[in-house]
């Protein structure tokens, strides 16, 4: 497999023939030697065995120049960034380093002295940036996956422009040591792939704290990247008056994705849009300038004019104004936490539309700003995001949908993205440190108490039914299920995986007359589940003929 994959990638590079794609290529002989060595060793449990990849040229690879899109800035590191080393250790095959908007500043993909990488779908469209080469290499079929970076949308806009997957992890989940900073406090290493499953597999390899990285942080012990499907979701979208589109087709594609998602609640995202406006007009501009002060002072004429203008503006920012920005960011994060307390994901257009190169040339700054309408706030608010394709306009221009969730929600976003994309997910399984918990009421997916389940790190496993030995009663906001000696029914519910360490704390929050006990399912298994003391249902209405709490809620709402 490694040799065949390497040969196919090399052939595809030659066939694609884009001189602006790579900044530094690894010689074909070295790639083939790496592939042959891997083949001789065998997989050895390496998760990415034999998969070719590329990295954005603001990420260090030992022995290869890091240019960040600026020849005068270039240096050659002696060690690879931890994120690259993890991929190599997992058996992946590096093809080289690819083009980007200089210093990762821009969402368009055209601000580079190395040329403009060709959009993989239509050469007249922008490739998207700043991770232009990373996205086009995957979309062109050259790389199985790639690394980009994302500060304001650079891991999502290029995905939409090239109709692929763009995964922006939570802040600090993937180390950024060895990455040329844009805004160091907001930077993320992102993943481009052709499927959600592939992006999740790459994330599983590269995630994890790095002790020498000041912005790295450990994920919760229960975190995983594997797509986590659910049968029901609590989804939100912006108010209609807060949506901006380039064409009616862009709007129609977005609305079609919302319709596919099912029930979606419209919410006010004005505080999020407001903090996004500060990204290029305040503290974070000064942070970019601080990171690149040396090149501005020594070789400013080598910096792209648009990028130079943005960076020079940082010298005039005042500390007193920066504190206003940081306080505003804290308020935006608080608002985001409140939104996600009752929602699994926020569904956004990845961009209002993808412009052509001609449109960008007509208004370079305005078009770039417009692209970031729904991406700029995500990193500031410490959120995770997954960009997926949303279809094509009648003129063939692609559109994208971005799923946004709280930090460390990558698995749930991947599960939702797979459902919306029609991508099959492997059935989730219990981990060694988890116990099954059968939910029959408001703790089920999409219902009001599900956030409590998620707070205790519960994971949906499967829908299931009890054996026909129970009766269920309406206790108002939740049901009470009681085992009966005769006249029982089978009731629908959900099996969730709960860390064993969470069972006690979760049970302590369950009010009487409810509690946990063994529930017998129709397949004979007996997981923990929600049961009620018989005395607690006296005088309560039996929900029959409904065969589950969801069905009963529907009946109750219709009467």
> Is 134 noted as a catalytic residue in this protein?
no
Beta-bridge partner residues of 385: 168, 404
Q: Is residue 426 classed exposed, middle or buried when 0-12, 13-18 and 19+ CB atoms within 10 A define those classes? A: exposed
**390 secondary structure, DSSP code:** E
DSSP string covering 27-70 = PHHHHHHHHHHHHHH--TT-TTTT-EEEEETTB--TTS-B-TT-
Consecutive H or E run containing 558 = helix 549-558
Please state, in angstroms and rounded to a whole number, the distance separating the CA atoms of residues 116 and 121: 14
Contacts of 72 (CB under 8 A, 6+ apart): 295, 298, 299, 302
Sheet (strand 434-439) strand order: 459-465, 492-499, 434-439, 528-532, 514-518
Based on its alpha-carbon atoms, the radius of gyration of the chain, rounded to whole angstroms, reads 25
- Active site includes 195? no
112 is catalytic: no
Q: Is residue 462 within 8 Å of residue 444, measured between CB atoms?
A: no
3-state helix, strand, coil in the chain (%, to 5): 35, 20, 40
Q: How many CA atoms lie within 13 A of 185 on its CB side?
A: 13
* Alpha carbon separation from 274 to 57, 183, 246, 279 (Å, rounded): 31, 19, 20, 10
Residues 6+ apart with CB under 8 A from 525: 436
How many C-beta atoms lie closer than 10 Å to residue 331's C-beta? 13
Task: State the catalytic residue, choosing from 80, 97, 112, 130.
Answer: 130
Whole-number Å distance between alpha carbons of 538 and 525: 29
Other beta carbons within 10 angstroms of residue 248's beta carbon come to 10
Nearest Cα residue to 230 out of 411, 500, 388: 411
Q: How far apart are CA 98 and CA 133, in angstroms?
A: 5
Alpha helices in 301-371 (DSSP H): 305-313, 319-340, 357-362, 364-371
Give the integer Cα–Cα distance in Å for 451 and 3.
47
Distance (Å, whole) CA 310 – CA 313 = 5
Q: Identify the three-state secondary structure at position 22.
A: strand
Assign 414 to helix, strand or coil: helix
CA distance 283 to 138: 34
Which member of 112, 154, 170, 190 is catalytic? 154
Active site residues: 56, 130, 154
């Amino acid at each position: 497999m490694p040799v065949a994959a390497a040969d196919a990638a090399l052939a595809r590079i030659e066939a694609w023939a884009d001189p602006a794609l790579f900044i530094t290529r690894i010689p074909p002989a070295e790639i083939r030697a790496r592939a042959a060595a891997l083949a001789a060793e065998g997989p050895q449990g390496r998760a990415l065995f034999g998969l070719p990849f590329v990295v954005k040229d603001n990420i260090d690879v030992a022995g290869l120049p890091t240019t960040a899109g600026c020849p005068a800035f270039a240096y050659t590191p002696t060690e690879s960034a931890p994120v690259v080393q993890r991929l190599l250790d997992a058996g992946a095959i590096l093809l080289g380093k690819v083009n980007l908007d200089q210093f990762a500043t821009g969402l368009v993909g055209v601000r580079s002295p190395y040329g403009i990488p060709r959009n993989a779908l239509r050469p007249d469209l922008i490739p998207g940036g700043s991770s232009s080469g990373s996205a086009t290499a995957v979309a062109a079929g050259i790389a199985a996956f790639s690394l980009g970076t994302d500060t304001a949308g650079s891991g999502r806009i290029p995905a939409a422009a090239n109709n692929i997957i763009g995964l922006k992890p939570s802040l600090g989940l993937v180390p950024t040591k060895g990455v040329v900073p844009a805004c160091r406090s907001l930077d993320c290493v992102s993943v481009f792939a052709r499927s959600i499953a592939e992006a999740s597999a790459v994330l599983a390899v590269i995630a994890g704290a790095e002790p020498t990285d000041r912005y790295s942080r450990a994920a919760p012990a229960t975190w995983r990247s594997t797509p986590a499907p659910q049968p029901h979701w609590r989804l939100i979208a912006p108010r209609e008056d807060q949506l901006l589109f380039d064409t009616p087709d862009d709007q129609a594609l977005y609305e079609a994705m919302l319709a596919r998602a099912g029930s979606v609640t419209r919410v006010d995202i004005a505080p999020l849009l407001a903090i996004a406006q500060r990204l290029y007009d305040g503290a974070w501009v000064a942070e970019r300038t601080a990171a690149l002060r040396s090149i501005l002072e020594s070789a400013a004429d080598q910096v792209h004019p648009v990028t130079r203008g943005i960076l020079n503006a940082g010298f005039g920012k005042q500390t007193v104004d920066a504190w206003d920005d940081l306080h505003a960011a804290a308020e935006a994060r608080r608002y985001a936490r409140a939104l996600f307390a009752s929602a699994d994901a926020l569904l956004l257009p990845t961009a209002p539309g993808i412009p052509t190169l001609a449109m960008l040339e007509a208004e370079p700054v305005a078009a770039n700003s417009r692209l970031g309408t729904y991406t700029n706030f995500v990193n500031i608010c410490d959120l995770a995001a997954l960009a997926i394709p949303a279809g094509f306009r009648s003129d063939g221009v692609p559109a994208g949908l971005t799923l946004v969730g709280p930090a460390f929600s990558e698995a749930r976003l991947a599960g939702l993205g797979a459902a919306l994309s029609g991508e099959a997910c492997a059935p989730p399984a219990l981990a060694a440190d988890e116990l099954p918990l059968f939910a029959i009421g408001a703790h089920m997916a999409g219902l009001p108490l599900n956030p409590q389940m998620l707070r205790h790190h519960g994971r949906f496993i499967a829908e299931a039914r009890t054996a026909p030995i129970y009766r269920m009663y309406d206790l108002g906001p939740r049901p009470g299920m009681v085992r009966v000696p005769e006249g029982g029914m089978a009731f629908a519910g959900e099996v969730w995986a709960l860390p064993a360490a969470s069972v006690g704390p979760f049970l302590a929050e369950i009010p009487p007359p409810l509690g946990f006990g063994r529930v017998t399912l129709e397949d004979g298994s007996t997981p923990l589940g929600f049961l009620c003391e018989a005395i607690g249902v006296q005088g309560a209405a039996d929900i029959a003929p409904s065969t589950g709490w969801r069905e009963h809620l529907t009946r109750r709402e219709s009467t």
